[in-house]
Structure 1
């Protein structure tokens, strides 16, 4: 599913392509690209859930906290998000790329994936998608994009 999300993000969002694509047409394109129908549906549902996080009803379910609080991960979250990824999320909060609400959106979308093998690069893509989807986070998006595409692996995670 992560491959489909990255493909869609790079093809439609990141490349300035037309965003008004018919869902049936999109499904056919993904099938032609070699993705499986079941995974396509899961990815499209994941994107719909991401968009729904912005609605007033859904945003009430996102827990917020003060700037001085520390996020404690549930056992299920710890199983899905390893120490390295949790450290990266904390780092992004410290440099103000993520605020508590955005952090919770990221965690929600990570938990929405059907994978037990979340890699740091996958997390970076999810964060980028969340930042792109929430208006007013252009600066944070640009910073995250630099971290994603950075070739200098000697700094930060």
Structure 2
């Protein structure tokens, strides 16, 4: 599923430039993706479109408490990454909730950090927001080989 999402992100620069699900499904099939992967990705993307209503939420100073199911499904790496983005001021509460919602809809537990980063990119993509260069670099690069200073 994440390969399909990466393809959609790379080929449709904004969420509003993406074709309707049926047309997108045909294009993805023509490119060579498996029917099951396409179906999963289209279901996931439909949840992303529905979730954009969260953008109407007012800014909040409340602390987010994750449920046990969220903590288990996201795992410590993904939760730490959310905190990093929130602390940097680049993931407002409404987008965070959409990220968590879409991560909970993703297969695998815990969600791999590389997949979680794709989810964050897709949330930015769906809202038409381009993250700044440093955030985009963090979302695009494999940071596992970096040495901490």
Shorter-chain TM band: 0.7 to 0.9
Deviation digits for residues 20-71 of structure 1, max 9, x if unmatched?
546444323323444322321221121121122223xx657x79631xx432
Tell which has more relative contact order, 1 or 2 (C-alpha 8 A, sep 6+). 2
Q: Secondary structure, in 3 states, of the residue corresponding to 1:114?
A: coil
Aligned length: 146
Query: What TM-score, normalized by structure 2, do the two folds share?
Result: 0.79
Residue of structure 1 in register with 2:138 after alignment: 147
The alpha-carbon distance between structure 1 residues 112 and 121, as it changes in their structure 2 partners (threshold 3 A), is: same
The alpha-carbon distance between structure 1 residues 6 and 114, as it changes in their structure 2 partners (threshold 3 A), is: same
5+ long unaligned stretches in structure 1: none
| Contact in 2 for aligned 1:124/1:144 (Cα 8 Å) | no
Question: Partners in 2 of 1:111 and 1:4 — Cα distance?
Answer: 18
Residue of structure 1 in register with 2:118 after alignment: 125
5+ long unaligned stretches in structure 2: none
Displacement of 1:6 in angstroms is 1.3
The answer on 1:99 being equivalent to 2:92 is yes
